[in-house]
């Protein structure tokens, strides 16, 4: 009885797995560009830096539905970018889980970049210079000194991005639609239930599920961060 009450329905499992898949890919595809942009903003000075900085914050500033709509306009099959993607690579993003991942990734991008940038800026340039004098070129310095020392920010950024992608709703439903098994993630399923009078109990279940998943991923990241910190701990904590 209790077991049945707790056991997840197929639809629930589907939504969970889909959510994880979509949030995971979202974070996956933005990780490298996110770190690269963060590094650019933290360590380089160039023309249009303020513009780039502003642009990448747009998803944060606009209501998600608007972002979803803009995505539909640009990446939809009739959009300028979408057309090119479709004709060039046969890739169609709207109404697919890949599209949902794109929507989640776009919404999560500024959070990732901000956190990573903050950590990169806190890395002591003296250590990078020291690595240089030991013969390490830019890339080696980046991968052996800068990024390892920015691990706290990488972790924070990743977990924020993951959480954001996991909870993404507005842009997803607008851009990727609410298709069961394809783009109906936990928040969309939750929305669908909330829209329905009398389905509060089911909605609450999903709500708890979301919370549990988020808590688990948070705790994992905390644990990793703690380990990373402990390694570097100096004597004055």
Partner 1 sequence: MSGNAHHSTPGEIHAPAGTALECRLRKRLGTFDLDIALTVPASGVTALFGESGSGKTSLLRLIAGLDRPDGGYVRLGERMLSDTQQKIHVPIHRRQLGIVFQEARLFPHYRVRGNLTYGMPRSGRARFDDLVTLLGIGHLLERLPGALSGGEARRVAIGRALLTQPRLLLLDEPLTGLDGERKRELLSYLVRLTREIDLPVLYVSHDTAEIAAIADHLALIEQGRLTAHGQLDELMMRLDLTERLGGFDAATRLRAQVVDHDHAYALTQVVLDDGQTLRIPALDQHPGTPIRLRVGVRDVALAHAMPEGTSYRNGLAAVIDAIEPSTQEPSANEVRLMVGRQRLRARLTRQACDEMQLAVGRPIVALIRSVAFDSRF
Partner 2 sequence: DRADPVRIYAAASMTDAMNAAIQAYESDHDVDIVPVYASSSTLARQIASGAPADIYLSANEQWMDWLAAQDLPVGERVDLLRNRLVLIAPTASDIAGFTPGDGTTIASRLGDGQRLSVGETSHVPAGIYAKQALQSIGEWNALQSRLASGDNVRAAMALVERNETPLGIVYQTDAEASDRVKRVGVFPDDSHQPITYPLAVVDPTPSDDTEAFRRWLAGDDALAIFSRYGFTPVESD
CB 86 within 8 A of CB 92: yes
CA angle 194, 199, 201 (to 5 degrees): 105
Question: Per-residue x/- marks for a second copy, 69-88, CB under 8 A?
Answer: xx------------------
Determine which residue in the list 40, 62, 179, 214 makes contact with partner 2, applying CB under 8 A: 179
CB 84 within 8 A of CB 74: no
Which of 17/122 has CB closer to a second copy?
122
d(CA 72, CA 61): 18
| 65 CB-near residues (< 8 Å, 6+ apart) | 170, 171, 173, 174
Q: With contacts defined by CB under 8 A, name the span among 66-74, 94-102, 131-139, 214-222 that binds partner 1.
A: 131-139
Could you tell me the smallest distance in angstroms from the CB atom of residue 86 to partner 2?
10
User: If 0-12 CB within 10 Å is exposed, 13-18 middle and 19+ buried, where does residue 159 land?
Assistant: buried
Which of 55/130 has CB closer to partner 1?
130
Determine which residue in the list 8, 36, 61, 81 makes contact with a second copy, applying CB under 8 A: 61
Dihedral Cα 96, 32, 152, 216, nearest 10 deg? 20
21 binds, among a second copy, partner 1, partner 2, none (CB under 5 to 8 A by kind): none
**Element containing residue 130 per DSSP (H, E):** helix 125-133
Using the rule CB under 8 A, is 20 a contact of a second copy?
no
148 binds, among partner 2, a second copy, partner 1, none (CB under 5 to 8 A by kind): partner 1
Determine which residue in the list 53, 77, 151, 224 makes contact with partner 2, applying CB under 8 A: 77
**Element containing residue 87 per DSSP (H, E):** helix 80-89
What residues numbered 84-103 form the site for partner 2, per CB under 8 A? Answer: 92, 94-95
What residues numbered 144-173 form the site for partner 1, per CB under 8 A? Answer: 144-145, 148-149
Residue ranges that bind partner 1, judged by CB under 8 A: 126-127, 129-138, 141, 144-145, 148-149, 231-236
């Amino acid at each position: 009885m209790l077991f049945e009450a707790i056991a997840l329905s197929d639809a629930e499992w589907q939504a969970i797995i889909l959510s994880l898949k979509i949030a995971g890919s979202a974070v996956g595809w933005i990780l490298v560009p996110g770190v690269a942009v963060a590094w650019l903003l933290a360590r380089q000075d160039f023309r249009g830096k303020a513009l780039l900085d502003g642009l990448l914050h747009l998803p944060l500033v606009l209501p998600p539905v608007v972002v979803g709509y803009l995505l539909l306009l640009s990446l939809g099959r009739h959009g300028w970018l979408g057309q090119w993607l479709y004709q060039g690579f046969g890739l169609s993003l709207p109404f697919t889980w890949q599209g949902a991942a794109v929507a989640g990734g776009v919404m999560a991008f500024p959070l990732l970049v901000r956190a990573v940038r903050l950590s990169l800026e806190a890395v002591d340039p003296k250590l990078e210079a020291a690595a240089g004098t030991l013969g390490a070129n830019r890339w080696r310095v980046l991968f052996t000194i800068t990024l390892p020392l920015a691990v706290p920010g990488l972790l924070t950024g990743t977990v924020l991005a993951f959480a954001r992608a996991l909870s993404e709703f507005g842009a997803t439903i607008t851009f990727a639609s609410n298709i069961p098994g394809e783009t109906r993630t936990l928040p969309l399923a939750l929305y669908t239930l909330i829209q329905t009078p009398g389905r509060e109990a089911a909605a609450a279940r999903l709500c708890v599920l979301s919370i549990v998943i988020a808590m688990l991923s948070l705790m994992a990241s905390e644990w990793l961060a703690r380990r990373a910190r402990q390694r570097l701990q100096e004597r004055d904590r």
